[in-house]
Structures are given as C-alpha cells and as structure tokens.
A = this chain, B = another copy of it.
C-alpha cells in the first residue's frame, strides 16, 4: 500500500530509461492544476492568450464551408502539398501586403499554426548546445521549442522600445568570444508577448543593422501585427530586409486559431529545407484548414473584421489600463500596449508572482507568473496580464481582485519580512512551469 502510494506520488514512469536526451526537459507543469481551477467561471482569468472570436460571423463561415465541401470537397479533403496549397499561399502574400511585405507565394510555407513554424525552423537550424537569442522576457511557446531541441536560450534585455540594441551587440560579442554558435535571434517586434511593447521604426532599422553586421539570422514572430490600436502598423523587419529575416505569420489572431494555419516566409533555400522538414513531420499541413481559411478570406470582408477585432481589443486594453490605474498598489508599474493582447506588470520588491499565484487563484483572479517567460528562472517580480478574452467589466474586476492580493502580500512582507515562508509557498521555478496551450 505504502509502495503503491509512493509510486503514485513520484509518478513513476516505467519508460523513463528509454527516452531520448531531449525528452528529459519535457516534464509536466506543477501549475497546470492551478490553471485548470483558473478556468472556472468564478475566476477572472487574465492568464489566457486565447483570442476573442465572439464577433466572427458564424453564418458566413458555415455557408462558406458548406459551399466548399459541395463544390471542392474532394480536393479539400485529400492529401495536399507539403508546402501548402497554392491558393492560400497567394492569399497569405495579400495579407502580408497590408504590412508592406512584398513576397512571392513560392517563398511561403504553410504551417500548423506559427508554433510549428518555430518548431521546424529550430529543427533545421539548431544542434544541441547552439545558442538562440531571445528577448527577456520571451514567448513561452518559443522557449518550449528551443528547450525541446536542447538549445541554450540567452535572454537579451528589453526596454520600452523592445529588444535593446546595445544588449544585443554585447551578447553576440560575448558569446562569439566564448566560442559559442549563435543560430539566430528570435523577436516579436510588435505588441510583444508577454512584454506588451513595440519596437519603433528606428529601433527596427538599428536591430537589422546589427544582424547584418554580425551576419545573424532574425526570426520575426508577428502574430499581432495587424492588431495595433492607433495608426498604421509599423513595417515588420521582413519588409525592411529579406535575406536575414525569416518571418512567421498566423491566422490565429486575425481569423481563428482552431484551423491551425500559420506560415513561414523564408529565403528560397531555407523554404526548401523547411518543406522537407514539414513532409517528415506531417506529410502536409491540414488541407481542409487551408481551403477553409481561403474560403473565409474570399467570402467575407476580412479586412473589416480585423478592424472590428482591433476596436474590441482596444476597448479591453483601455479597461485594463483603467483597472490597473485604480487598483494597483504603490511600487507597481506596467507597460502600455499599443496593440496585441498583453500587459507586463512589475511588482514591488519582495513580492514573488510565482509564489503568490495560488493565493491569487483563491481570490478568484489568475495571471501567468513572469518566470514562465524566462529560460533561466528569472521573472518572479513580474507577471503577464492578458486583456484579450474577458469583458471590460470582468477585466476591471480582475484588476481589483489582483490589487487586493498584492496589498495583502505587501502587508505580509511588512510584518514578516517575506510575503510567505519560501519553502512552503514557492513552487519550483523555471520554464518547466510553462502553462498549457490555452495560456500561451
């Protein structure tokens, strides 16, 4: 009996000796259970990164798919090209033109969400031990990919204009002096996840200059580029440079994530390698999804729909800003996103966002601790708040609850010198604590 309990307790894995070295970093997250609780309706979740697709015209989509099946079903339900179907690759080029990217459909490969683009790029470029430069903090899903290929992530400091050029230059020089192989730097220039900041044009030009000088590839991840709240989008890195930049795009935020259609735009030779990797990974990306997205683009005013999404997210961003201004205690600061889904909150010294999470969930508000966005265990003084999914009223209520939790933590800190007794309250830190797909 005791033995059985111990087995359950240590979650003994009979297959543990058989796994590849790369699998040893893949362990289940201790905070998953907390997020399961956070999905209950009484909890305001400021943790999720799910787009709000309530405004999509279901009748239009339903009709378009019915038509698609009746008239083109036998092609849409068949195997297709490893690179992706020609029609959607043309449509993708049209979408990218909205951000001044000029590209040929032959240089586009369709992926199972842009997550798979990251996976396949890392697969073709990175040996174990190769260095990938990432922003500090960086997208949790990217860190998971880099870890799964046994890359070493080196974080580079950001400021309120995104990735810091001096820090980038220093990191490249230091790593090269140490004989390390740096494969690329990974960046989200617009409406950063999780930091909520955006690189202005002159910063982008400066970063590209550094990449060219160091002959370093840039992987530009741009899922939110069309979801800016004010004025025209800032030109993506790819629109300014086409031989050092590999661009990742996605329909997950401008249409819907459930089809899992993203893309990579890459220099021709790289695109060819990517297709061979895609064929090994899936034979071909989902053909029906590609036809469905193409049908949506052809049967709906998708540009108008993006404007509707933008206004909806802007209203939520405004609610988040108002809520934080009203309810955050002294010593707290946050970024002011001009687009996208996320705010990065910095806590007063001594408060640990990771240790605090169980108490926040008890107080019916959830967030993602900053530690999820670092490969090196840092980030505990920060958290990511998302405003993409809840209603404005719920967002404000969430910030109110969060404010109360923070006030309580601050009082505990004042009385006891620490917000909570470290051993008992703190969960293991580090990137293993990454949340599930609905939280990324």
Binding site for B on A (CB under 8 A): 11-16, 18-23, 26-28, 50-51, 53-54, 56, 58-59, 61-63, 65-70, 73-82, 112-113, 115-116, 119, 123-127, 130, 141, 144-145, 147-148, 183, 217, 243, 252, 256-260, 267, 269-270, 272-273, 276-277, 279-289, 291-292, 436-438, 440
B residues within 8 A CB of A20?
123-127, 130
Say whether, besides A79-B437, A144-B280, A279-B144, A23 and B73 are in contact (CB < 8 Å): no
A265-B68 Cα distance, complex, nearest whole Å:
32
Q: Least Cβ distance of A106 to chain B in Å?
A: 14
Decide if A258 touches B288 in the complex (CB within 8 Å).
Answer: yes
Decide if B53 touches A74 in the complex (CB within 8 Å).
Answer: yes
A14 partner, pick from B269, B277, B292, beta carbons under 8 A = B269
B residues within 8 A CB of A270?
15
Decide if A78 touches B23 in the complex (CB within 8 Å).
Answer: no
Which residue in chain B gives the minimum CB-CB distance to A283? B437
A436 partner, pick from B58, B75, B82, B289, beta carbons under 8 A = B82
Decide if B273 touches A286 in the complex (CB within 8 Å).
Answer: no
Q: Least Cβ distance of A47 to chain B in Å?
A: 13
A437-B277 Cα distance, complex, nearest whole Å:
12
A26-B113 Cα distance, complex, nearest whole Å:
22
Which residue in chain B gives the minimum CB-CB distance to A18? B125
Decide if B58 touches A26 in the complex (CB within 8 Å).
Answer: no
Copies in the complex: 2
Q: Least Cβ distance of A205 to chain B in Å?
A: 23
B residues within 8 A CB of A77?
53, 56, 61, 256-259
B residues within 8 A CB of A19?
124-125, 273
List 24 interface pairs A-B (beta carbons < 8 Å), by A numbering.
Answer: A13-B273, A28-B276, A53-B74, A53-B77, A56-B73, A59-B70, A65-B69, A77-B257, A77-B258, A79-B252, A80-B258, A80-B437, A112-B282, A112-B285, A113-B283, A119-B282, A141-B279, A141-B280, A141-B283, A256-B288, A258-B291, A259-B286, A260-B287, A279-B436
Decide if B437 touches A217 in the complex (CB within 8 Å).
Answer: no
Q: Least Cβ distance of A107 to chain B in Å?
A: 13
A258 partner, pick from B258, B287, B440, beta carbons under 8 A = B287
A113-B66 Cα distance, complex, nearest whole Å:
23
A77-B260 Cα distance, complex, nearest whole Å:
9
Decide if B69 touches A62 in the complex (CB within 8 Å).
Answer: yes
| Complex A-B, nearest 8 residue pairs according to Cβ-Cβ distance, in ascending order | A77-B256, A62-B69, A258-B287, A77-B258, A13-B269, A26-B276, A283-B437, A66-B66
Say whether, besides A82-B437, A286-B259, A273 and B23 are in contact (CB < 8 Å): yes
Q: Least Cβ distance of A270 to chain B in Å?
A: 5
Q: Least Cβ distance of A420 to chain B in Å?
A: 29
Say whether, besides A23-B125, A277-B26, A436-B279, A288 and B259 are in contact (CB < 8 Å): yes
Task: Count chain B CB atoms within 10 A of each CB in A26, A79, A112, A287 and give the residue with the most.
Answer: A79
Which residue in chain B gives the minimum CB-CB distance to A21? B127
Decide if B79 touches A73 in the complex (CB within 8 Å).
Answer: no
A13-B127 Cα distance, complex, nearest whole Å:
19
B residues within 8 A CB of A438?
79-80
B residues within 8 A CB of A123?
20, 22-23, 148
Q: Least Cβ distance of A299 to chain B in Å?
A: 12
Q: Least Cβ distance of A428 to chain B in Å?
A: 16
